Amino acid sequence: EVQLVESGGGLVKPGGSLRLSCAASGFNFSNAWMSWVRQAPGEGLEWVGRIKSQTDGGTTDYAAPVKGRFTISRDDSKNTLYLQMNSLKTEDTALYYCTTLQRYGECRFWGQGTLVTVSS
């Protein structure tokens, strides 16, 4: 059974940093593309970014609102995905989901999400 468990969310002040983790199990993590998707309270789904498998180059891509501030990485030895968030803004307040990602954007499996609140 595929399991994705996010952690690391919390309350942070504007301008601060936070690192989210996503522990994966039940599938071959090292061969998987992964993504982060967020959802602000009462709002729709929004892409944060993606990371390819190491065999496909391990490269990352980011949505415009977070580019230059957020960094996605992975540790295949720990089956864990990370999201480093710097220079946080109040508009980054959202539930952050970790998902598996097919090449053309299908998110077949989702974690339960971890809540990030950016407020002074």
* 14 versus 26: smaller Cβ distance to another protein: 26
What does the alpha-carbon distance between residue 93 and residue 18 come to, in Å, rounded to a whole number?
A: 12
Least gap, CB of 10 to another protein (angstroms): 20
Residue with tokens 């992975």: 74
Under rule CB under 8 A, residue 27 binds another protein:
no
Restricting to residues 37-56, which ones interact with another protein according to CB under 8 A? 44-47, 49-50
Restricting to residues 58-117, which ones interact with another protein according to CB under 8 A? 61-64, 97, 102, 104-113
- For residue 90, the SS3 value is helix
Which residues bind to another protein, rule: CB under 8 A? Answer: 44-47, 49-50, 61-64, 97, 102, 104-113
